[in-house]
Amino acid sequence: MATTDTDKTTDTDKTDNIVWLGSPAFPQAAKTALADDQLRRNLRHATTTIRDKRLHVTGELADWEQLRDAGAALKRRVLRHLDSYLEQLETSVTAAGGIVHWARDADEANTIVADLIRATGQTEVVKVKSMATQEIGLNEALAKEGITAYETDLAELIVQLGDDRPSHILVPAIHRNRTEIRDIFTSRMAGYGRPAPEGLTDEPAALAEAARGHLREKFLRAKVAVSGANFAIAETGTIGVVESEGNGRMCLTLPETLITVMGIEKVLPQFSDLEVFLQLLPRASTGERMNPYTSMWTGVTPGDGPQSFHLVLIDNGRTLTLTDTVGRQALACIRCSACLNVCPVYERTGGHAYGSVYPGPIGAILAPQLVGAAGSKHTDSLPFASTLCGACYDACPVKINIPEVLVHLRAKVVESKQEHHLLPTPEAVAMHTARIVFNSPRLLGAGQRLGAAGARLISRGGVIRGLPGPLRGWSRSRDTPVPAKESFRAWWSAREQKYEGEERQ
């Protein structure tokens, strides 16, 4: 695959918590990604496959809509009473022999995890796939402390070996095809441990075998593991991780110390709530009836599994997001990635263009809110990276109204731009003018006639290829059709006059 600007990782554009500083804003990054045919082929193939599987298995359940309603209601309840559920979770985890740590932001979380690892005397850890640790840039922070974190999820391993960035929530290496993965394994595995076998082919079984051999020595050697969490049950202190490969199960059971990093919104009230989410998540994410591996643990059990368990609860912008009554629904996300797989924008640009660890529709509403105030080129463009077609809302297993939040965040960006200008912005002038024109049928009719005449003048072959002035951006990537010679209003008015005339006769 051709290297794009968004692929490059340099010291100056490493992950800064949630967004990748140094990356171009979405419009520029998307343009680069769109020119990459191989990337688009890889994405089309992968998203279509997962999408079809999801539709098949969700269609099997007669009560799928009721399950979605139940999931949405539970998540709404959690967000309404987040403070009490978190305190209950801390009490339950502590009673079961775990230790709970609270981190306000990424720096605090990284310091806590690094100190915990250092206290064990270890300099390497194995990791279960985790969006929360990507969000806080844990691997990079640990590397600065001389601690190596080995990703053990197959797709995360591909990303790590390729010195790449994840481009999908569930399938971080979705932008890579088999041949590219074979090349990465062949050239990079030896630098991280056991090399790839001689003559490795790009057959899936051969690639899986190479990864298995490479990872196994790490599992057997590791004394410390770091994981994320899909759920944490306030009632019992039970933590849950679902996965497909079994690498998570190895990390969660073999090492002596387990450190779990989790966003505070992942808490669920009761163990019985899993009945809903363990049906919703696998069907919406991988298109499976159930996850191949569902691991759950409650504190520590003498003689069985890790004997030291730490739960690091991170805020990192979540309580700020909670204060927005429209935007807070983004915190209900269970990271299934269904919204990415149905999004026509994501399918064409891929995840790197979003410049954030959270790509796609959910990233477009979550990243700007976690980062905070509008006014950043990294996040201001994200709410506009959507056609508002609503496919994400239809697919979301917990019914997050992503289009509603997108429009809400767009308004915030526009308002913040206006706040920084003494004079009205061109957009504000245009909207003000539009209000006057749309309020006056006479002005609207005159404007339509004038606009249509002008459009016909600059058209060629029935299409306008370039609009003038501030409208240029609209026609840069679209063919604008020439307005009809007679507008609907003119046609209607002529029709009314004709009938009135006929009735009078």
* Interacting residues toward ligand SF4 by CB under 6 A: 333-339, 362, 395-398, 400
Residue with smaller CB distance to ligand SF4, 283 or 378: 283
Cβ–Cβ under 8 Å, residues 337 and 285: yes
Whole-angstrom distance, CA of residue 478 vs CA of residue 289: 41
Alpha helices, H only, 171-266: 178-192, 204-221, 247-253
CB of 324 to ligand SF4, least distance (A): 16
The nearer residue to ligand SF4, 116 or 132, going by C-beta atoms, is: 132
Cβ proximity to ligand SF4, 226 vs 395, nearer residue? 395
CB 398 within 8 A of CB 334: yes
Question: What minimum distance in Å lies between the beta carbon of 393 and ligand SF4?
Answer: 9
Closest CB 93 distance from ligand SF4, rounded Å:
25
Q: What is the per-residue DSSP string for 391-457?
A: HHHHH-TT---HHHHHHHHHHHHHHHHHHT-SSPPHHHHHHHHHHHHHT-HHHHHHHHHHHHHHHHH
Cα–Cα distance for residue pair 209/245, rounded to 1 Å: 12
Residue 291 beta carbon to ligand SF4: minimum distance, rounded to whole angstroms: 15
Work out how close the CB of 245 gets to ligand SF4 at its nearest, in angstroms, rounded to a whole number: 20
CB of 293 vs ligand SF4, minimal distance in Å = 20
Q: Which is nearer to ligand SF4, 93 or 333 (CB)?
A: 333
Structure tokens at 482: 């020439």
Compute the least distance from the CB of residue 28 to ligand SF4, in Å.
25
- C-beta closer to ligand SF4: residue 135 or 180: 135
- Give bridge partners of residue 73 from the DSSP assignment: none
Output 226 or 336, the one with its CB closest to ligand SF4.
336
238 contacts 224 by C-beta, under 8 angstroms: no
Q: Three-state SS string across 35-92, please? A: CCHHHHHHHHHHHHHHHHHHHHHHHCCCCHHHHHHHHHHHHHHHHHCHHHHHHHHHHH
Q: Which is nearer to ligand SF4, 125 or 336 (CB)?
A: 336
